[in-house]
Chain A
Amino acid sequence: MSIENKSFRPKIVAFCCNWCSYAGADLAGSSRLSYPADVKIIRVPCSCRVNPMFILRAFEKGADGVIMCGCHPGDCHYSTGNYYARRRMTLLFSMLDYIGVENGRTRVEWVSAAEGVKFSDTMNSFVEKIHSLGENVRLGDLRCRN
């Protein structure tokens, strides 16, 4: 990693569903499995609560990466929420890719409440990816930069 990259502290927003992924993040915490502090988690009831507006808003306000985590397909607390979320995010990400936003900046991972290790591994690899992509200039709203 170059010196330039080291000084780059990405802003990463993680949407986690209350039932699986948020609990998975809690488990990562209680198991002391570290991941970079750049990741900030927003708790939502279900991955299907994540509106594409939220993701674009994060980018608009200067996020460098947005990740959404939910229950594994088939395990949704609300039984079908993550199926809808999966389609929505697939289409949204495809659109972002289409307009030239590096597709590594968005990710969906299914993390169960028992997968503390997967949660921290996912966050580590996502942050690494964002580091390799560097600052998000294509979707940032320049007014919001500090």
Chain B
Amino acid sequence: MQRIGVFVCHCGSNIAATVDVSKVAEMALMEPGVVHAEDYQYMCSEAGQAKIQDAIHEKKLSGIVVCSCSPRMHEATFRKAAERAGLNPYMVEIANIREHCSWIHKDMEEATKKAVILMRAAVAKVNLNTPLKPGESRVTKRALIIGGGIAGIQTALDIADAGYEVDIVEKTPSIGGRMSQLDKTFPTLDCSACILTPKMVEASAHEKIKIYTYSEVEKVSGFVGDFTVDIRKKARSVDMDKCTGCGVCQEKCPSKKAPSEFNRGLNNRSAIYTPFAQAIPNVPVIDREACIKFKTGKCGICSKVCQAGAIDYEQKDEIITEKYGAIVVATGFDTINLDKYDEYAYSQSKDVITSLELERVMNAAGPTHGHLERLSDGKAPKEMVFIQCVGSRCSDDRGKPYCSKICCMYTAKHAMLIRDKYPDVNVTVFYIDVRTPGKNFDEFYRRAVEQYGVNYIKGQVGKVIPQPDGKLLVQGSDLLDNKQILKEADMVVLATAIEPNPDVRKIATMLTASIDTNNFLTEAHAKLRPVESPTAGIFLSGVCQGPKDIPETVAQAGAAAVKAIGLLAKDKLLTNPCTAHSDELLCNGCSTCENVCPYGAITYEDKEVNDHGIREVRRLAVVNSALCQGCGACTVACPSGAMDLQGFSNRQIIAEVDAICR
């Protein structure tokens, strides 16, 4: 028989104002096993915890129930308090009489009655609690970063600088990510490449960092501290050790019709290519879809011109299996597909472009070598129109419900740069709201308006109509002047919404990390744990978690690194002891539980058992408690009830049900 102590918290007046706490304590003494009950102002305070500890000592308590706020709030606090008094922390149960009772009920009698029932259920449960001991698991002191953009690079550098091994897996042939495609950055107008490239070089030169480019994560198993990851290193068709990066192959390649991903398809690249001049590693890949040698078997020019003999048409995908203690997701974003926004004539006119395409147009290494010109005829534009919130803050299913956050600022940047370099070009911006929270952001926007004379019109554009003379007729409205506007433009730039990289869903599934309806990875807590996934050992860096600009991304990347370092610094992890456990004498060995386990934590072994004198070898389920996360799916799948969950056992839950229905 347990000796149970019940502690009823007033939570100031939060509970005591609606629940008769002394009555709850009084009623508790009538419950089986309860030998002590008291109420106190703040149980979570030091004095409150001392009361619990004193009672554990004095009354020799074997289990306690704290009637207080949600277990999500203070379960850990009370467990620690109990542990300090020598009680197993899992002999503590919480009756949630604040969030689930005092805060939602007004009538004192009713609330008190309910609090008593919740107390009874907790007492009934703790009567069946057993001491549990967390297991230990080791930590592999290496981190994996998925995505080699600025977020991934920064996280990798921070973790590596702390002395831990880091691997970066990047899908494209080079690290650098979206930031490498940008021309200038707001609000200081530094050249993007000038601040990014040194970081790329630093990462590639870092002795603790290994970079897998043109590679993808294929399979993830294991758990926090001990992940096993298969990385598919796609066949580059170029030997990375031999290639000197001279670039002759790209020059001589006769197939030059593949759209350049780096330049957003605005111009073409060769079949053997490095995405951009500063690519890291500076080793080209052969795009096998575009390569004549792969398509027809003839050609092989690159191989002939390569003095290093680095071209290897026979190269195959390689699977690398590696262990990691922590995984950081930094998969970034892309702009949304504009098929559903036909009114802006994006698909009809080459002169309607996205802002990211404009970045490439403005960039000296871009398709126009940095000259602002119409992509249809190469003429210099005189009138430019920017349309904001294309697909952002959208109430229907064409676009995204969220604000993409970066568009207001980059549009101000574009407008300012254009007005600065080409003072004769008129720039008009159609906007819903201009959102400029951020250090020096509003000042920046105001400079665009006041100093550079950018024409901001509050209103939406209904339609962009390509004219026979090549101009674009923009139909919009001015909400402040309440009038319709018809404007002829030479170029239209769409501030296209951003969305998480489409691969993220696949990656999240592999990691069992949760994801929201917009495919952004979910934080463990929106406010208090913003860089951690609810899945232990998975951390979030950059736009995969939500729209953000470069400074925010870098800050979050650092934060994710710190969380990962905090994990890697530990030698051992304590595992949740609330795991499933199979009763050998009841197990049928039928594999049903194995089929529903999301963690592969259940295996089968042939074991000799002694079933009341019958000795035989049986096929039995065995739970790996380091892998088991304690969901309980197996316990319901098991028809014989052999599988049970510690801390939430069948009998415990039934005891709660009985107490509530009593």
Contact = CB atoms under 8 A, between A and B. Distances in A.
Q: Do A and B bind each other?
A: yes
B656 A42 contact: yes
Interface of B: 70-73, 96, 98-101, 103-107, 110-111, 113-114, 117-118, 121, 509, 512, 514-516, 522, 534, 578, 596, 598, 629-633, 635-637, 645, 648, 650, 653-654, 656-658, 660-662
A103 interface: no
Interface in A34-57: 34-35, 37, 40-46, 48-54, 57
Contacts of A32: 103-104
Given A29-B103, A54-B653, A49 B636 contact: yes
Contacts of B512: 78-79
> Which of B99, B105, B516 has the most chain A CB atoms inside 10 A of its CB?
B99
Contact of B660 (A11, A33, A49, A84): A11
B190 to A, nearest CB: 38
B633 A81 contact: yes
Contact of B110 (A23, A37, A44, A62): A37
B632 A41 contact: no
A46 B647 CA distance: 13
A104 to B, nearest CB: 18
Nearest to B595: A84
A19 B645 CA distance: 17
A49 B645 contact: yes
A77 interface: yes
Contacts of A44: 632, 648, 653
B661 A26 contact: no
B113 A37 contact: yes
A46 B658 contact: no
A79 B509 contact: yes
B105 A37 contact: yes
Interface string A107-146: 0000000000000100000000000000000000000100
A42 B632 CA distance: 15
Nearest to A28: B104
A67 interface: no
B111 to A, nearest CB: 6
A84 B637 contact: yes
A29 B637 contact: no
B633 A48 contact: yes
A42 B125 CA distance: 11
A69 interface: no
Given A11-B660, A26-B70, A79-B509, A40 B633 contact: no
B96 A50 contact: no
Interface string A78-92: 111100100010000
Nearest to B637: A84
Contacts of A28: 99, 104
A33 B106 CA distance: 11
B104 A35 contact: yes
Given A34-B105, A54-B654, A42 B660 contact: yes
Given A23-B72, A26-B72, A78-B629, A61 B661 contact: yes
Contact of A13 (B101, B534, B657): B657
A30 B99 contact: yes
A77 B100 CA distance: 22
B101 A61 contact: no
Contacts of B650: 51, 53
Contacts of B99: 25-26, 28-30
19 contacts: A26-B70, A29-B98, A29-B104, A34-B106, A37-B114, A40-B117, A40-B118, A44-B653, A45-B630, A48-B633, A49-B636, A54-B657, A57-B654, A57-B657, A57-B658, A61-B657, A61-B662, A63-B660, A88-B636
